[in-house]
C-alpha cells in the first residue's frame, strides 16, 4: 500500500554486494511501482495516495495492465511492485502476477493483507509471486485497528503473515511510525521476529497529501525520535543475520533532506491506477504538472520525453541555495512533493534542508505540533476525508 512506502529511493537503488550505489544516468528504471487501484478497505490518515482518489471506473483494464507488464519487461525493468490502494481488491491480480512471471519480472506484493485468504495467497505464490510486504499499523489491535480505521485488521494481518511464511514466501513487515504508535516499536520489532519476517521497514510518516492534513496528530516529538533511533540501532546490532531493519527518519528533524526517489526521474517511476506515469507515487500532489498516460504513449517515450519528468531532472532547474551547493548531486535538493507541500513551489529547496530559508520555521512548527495534544485523525476516504469520532 502506498501509504506504507518510505518516500525515498532506497528500495530501487542498484546495490553491489558491498552496498555501493551505482547510478544509472536516467536509463530505464530497474523497478516500477504499479498502483493497481486506489480502492482500499483501510483508511490510514497518512496514506500517500493523492487527496483526489481515482474511482474504480477510471482504472486501467486487465488488458491494459497486461500490455504494460509486457512493455516493462521489454524496456528493461526487472522488478514490479504491485501496490495500490489495496492491490488484492483487483480480481485480476493473479493473472497480472502470472504475466509478470511469464515475462521475467520479479514481483512484489505490497498489501494491507486484510483481504487475503490462504487460498488467495497460495494462488499468487503459484503464479510466481516472489515476495510479500505486509503493512502493520501497530503492535496490537487497539492502536493498529484505530490507525487503519478497520476493525479486526490487525488479527487478519497476523494470519496473512503466517500464511506467507508457510508458503515459503519471503516476508517484509512495513511499519509506518508516528507519534501515536512509536511507543509500540519494541513490540513491533519482536513481532517481526516472531512472524519470521526477513525484513522490517521502520518508516516514519512523510508529510504530504493525507499525512500533511494529519500532521498535528502524527508528528513525533524530538525526544521520541531520538529514542527511536537508539532503539533501531540497538535492534539492528542485536538482530544481525536474523532480521534486516531498514529505517526511514522523518526529515523534518534532519538537517539534510532525503535523496528522494534517488532523484526525480533518475531511477524510479510509478504507474497510477489510471495509467499515469509518475516520477514518484506522491507526484500528483503537485498541482500544475501534467503526467502522461500509458494509454497515450509508450513507457519508453514517457520516460524520455515527459515534460513532468524532465522538469526536475538533473540539477539545471535548481534555485539557490541548491545550485551552488556541494551536496546537490547527493540529495538532489530533497523532495519535490515536500517542497510543494510546504512552500507552494515544487522547484524550491526542500525545507527539510537546513540551508533552506524556511527550515527554521518549519522545524519550530513541527515541534509545536508534536507537543500539542490533538490526536484525532482525519481518515482517508473518497470524499475528502472522514473525521475521527469517539
Partner 1 sequence: MQAETPPAVRAPRPRITAQSVPRLPRHVKLHHDKTRDRWVILVPERVLLPDDTAVAVLQRVDGARRVCDIVDDLARVYNADPALILKDSIALLQDLADKAFLLAATEPPDA
SS3 42: coil
122 sits near partner 1 (criterion: CB under 8 A): no
Q: Which is nearer to partner 1, 76 or 371 (CB)?
A: 76
The phi, psi pair for 196, rounded to 5°, reads: 65, 35
For 151, 172, 188, 229, 247, the CA distances from 191, given in Å and listed in that order, are 20, 12, 5, 18, 16
CB of 351 to partner 1, least distance (A): 29
Among residues 130 and 315, whose Cβ is nearest to partner 1? 130
| Residue closer to partner 1 (CB basis): 49 or 164 | 164
Choice between 128 and 321, CB closer to partner 1: 128
Phi, psi angles (nearest 5°) of residue 171: -125, 130
Minimum CB distance to partner 1 smaller for 191 or for 289: 191
CA 140 to chain centre: 22
Shortest approach of partner 1 to residue 339 CB, angstroms?
Answer: 26
3-state secondary structure of 75: helix
- Residue 226 binds to partner 1 (criterion: CB under 8 A): no
Comparing CB distances to partner 1, the nearer of 45 and 84 is 84
Q: Which stretch binds partner 1 (CB under 8 A): 51-59, 92-100, 237-245, 269-277?
A: 237-245
The Cα–Cα gap between 201 and 154 comes to 17
Q: Pick from 64, 71, 92, 196 the residue near partner 1 by CB under 8 A.
A: 196
Contact 278, 23 (CB under 8 A): no
Q: Which residues contact 16 (CB under 8 A, 6 or more apart)?
A: 22
- Cα separation, 34 vs 106, in Å, equals 13
Grid coordinates given for 331: 540529495
Number of residues that bind partner 1 (CB under 8 A): 45
Nearest-approach distance from CB 134 to partner 1, in angstroms: 12
Q: Should residue 237 be labelled a site residue for partner 1 when binding is judged by CB under 8 A?
A: no
**Does 175 sit near partner 1 (CB under 8 A)?**
no
141 near partner 1 (CB under 8 A): no
Q: Which stretch binds partner 1 (CB under 8 A): 12-20, 210-218, 305-313, 331-339?
A: 12-20
With cell 551547493, the residue in question is: 325
| Nearest Cα residue to 110 out of 31, 181, 187 | 31
The one segment of 233-241, 306-314, 344-352, 381-389 that binds partner 1 by CB under 8 A? 233-241
Residue (22 or 316) nearer to partner 1, CB: 22
Half-sphere exposure of 19 (CA within 13 A, CB side): 0
Residue 191 contacts residue 218 (beta carbons within 8 Å)? no
Contacting residue, 231, 254, 362, 386, with partner 1 by CB under 8 A = 231
The reply to whether 119 sits near partner 1 by the rule CB under 8 A is no
- Interatomic CA distance for residues 58 and 56, integer angstroms: 5
- Residue 59 C-alpha cell reads as 482504472
How many residues comprise the chain?
A: 390
Q: Which stretch binds partner 1 (CB under 8 A): 25-33, 144-152, 215-223, 276-284?
A: 25-33
Nearer residue to partner 1 within complex by CB, 268 or 340: 268
Element (DSSP H or E) covering residue 311? helix 307-311
- How many of the other CB atoms lie within 10 Å of CB of 374? 8
Binding test (CB under 8 A) with partner 1, winner from 40, 68, 169, 346: 169
State yes or no: residue 187 binds partner 1 (CB under 8 A): yes
The site map against partner 1 for 37-76 (x = CB under 8 A) is: --------------------------------------xx
Going by DSSP bridges, is the β-strand pair 106-111/378-379 parallel, antiparallel, or unpaired?
Answer: unpaired
Contact with partner 1 (CB under 8 A): which of 67, 94, 106, 317? 106
Report residue 30 CA to chain centroid gap.
Answer: 16
Beta carbons of 29 and 269 less than 8 angstroms apart: yes
Contact positions vs partner 1 (CB under 8 A): 11-17, 22, 27-28, 30-31, 75-76, 78-79, 81, 104, 106, 108, 130-131, 133, 168-170, 172, 186-187, 189-190, 193-194, 196, 198-199, 227, 231, 238-244
Amino acid at each position: 500500500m502506498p501509504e506504507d512506502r518510505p518516500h525515498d529511493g532506497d528500495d530501487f537503488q542498484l546495490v553491489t554486494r558491498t552496498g555501493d550505489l551505482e547510478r544509472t544516468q536516467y536509463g530505464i528504471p530497474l523497478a516500477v511501482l504499479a498502483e493497481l487501484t486506489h480502492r482500499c478497505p483501510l483508511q490510514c490518515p497518512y496514506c500517500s495516495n493523492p487527496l483526489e482518489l481515482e474511482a474504480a471506473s477510471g482504472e486501467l483494464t486487465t488488458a491494459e495492465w497486461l500490455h504494460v507488464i509486457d512493455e516493462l519487461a521489454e524496456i528493461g525493468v526487472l522488478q514490479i511492485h504491485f501496490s495500490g490502494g489495496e492491490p488484492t481488491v483487483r480480481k485480476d491480480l493473479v493473472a497480472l502476477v502470472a504475466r509478470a512471471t511469464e515475462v521475467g519480472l520479479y514481483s512484489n506484493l505490497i498489501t494491507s493483507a486484510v483481504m487475503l485468504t490462504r487460498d488467495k495467497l497460495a494462488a499468487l505464490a503459484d503464479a510466481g509471486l516472489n515476495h510479500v510486504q505486509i503493512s502493520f499499523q501497530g503492535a496490537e489491535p487497539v492502536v493498529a485497528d484505530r490507525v487503519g480505521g478497520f476493525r479486526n485488521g490487525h488479527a487478519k494481518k497476523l494470519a496473512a503473515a503466517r500464511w506467507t511464511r508457510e508458503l515459503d514466501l519471503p516476508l517484509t513487515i512495513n511499519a509506518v511510525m508516528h507519534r501515536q504508535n512509536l511507543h509500540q516499536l519494541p513490540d513491533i520489532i519482536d513481532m517481526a521476529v516472531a512472524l519470521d519476517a526477513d525484513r522490517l521497514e521502520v518508516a516514519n510518516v512523510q508529510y504530504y497529501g493525507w499525512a500533511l492534513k494529519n500532521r498535528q496528530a502524527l508528528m513525533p516529538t524530538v525526544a521520541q525520535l531520538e529514542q527511536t533511533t537508539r532503539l533501531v540501532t540497538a535492534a539492528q546490532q542485536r538482530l544481525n543475520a536474523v532480521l534486516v531493519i531498514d529505517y526511514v527518519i522523518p526529515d523534518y528533524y534532519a538537517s539534510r533532506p532525503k535523496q528522494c526517489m534517488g532523484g526525480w526521474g533518475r531511477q524510479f517511476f510509478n504507474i497510477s491506477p489510471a495509467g499515469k506515469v509518475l516520477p514518484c507515487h506522491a507526484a500528483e500532489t503537485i498541482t500544475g504538472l501534467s503526467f502522461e498516460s500509458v494509454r497515450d504513449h509508450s513507457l519508453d517515450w514517457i520516460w524520455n520525453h515527459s515534460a513532468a519528468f524532465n522538469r526536475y531532472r538533473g540539477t539545471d532547474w535548481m534555485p539557490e541555495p541548491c545550485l551552488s551547493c556541494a551536496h546537490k548531486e547527493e540529495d538532489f535538493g530533497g523532495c519535490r512533493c515536500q517542497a510543494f507541500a510546504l512552500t507552494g513551489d515544487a522547484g524550491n529547496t526542500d525545507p527539510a534542508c537546513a540551508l533552506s530559508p524556511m527550515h527554521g520555521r518549519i522545524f519550530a512548527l513541527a515541534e509545536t505540533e508534536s507537543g500539542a495534544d490533538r490526536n484525532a485523525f482525519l481518515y482517508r476516504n473518497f470524499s475528502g476525508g472522514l473525521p475521527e469520532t469517539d
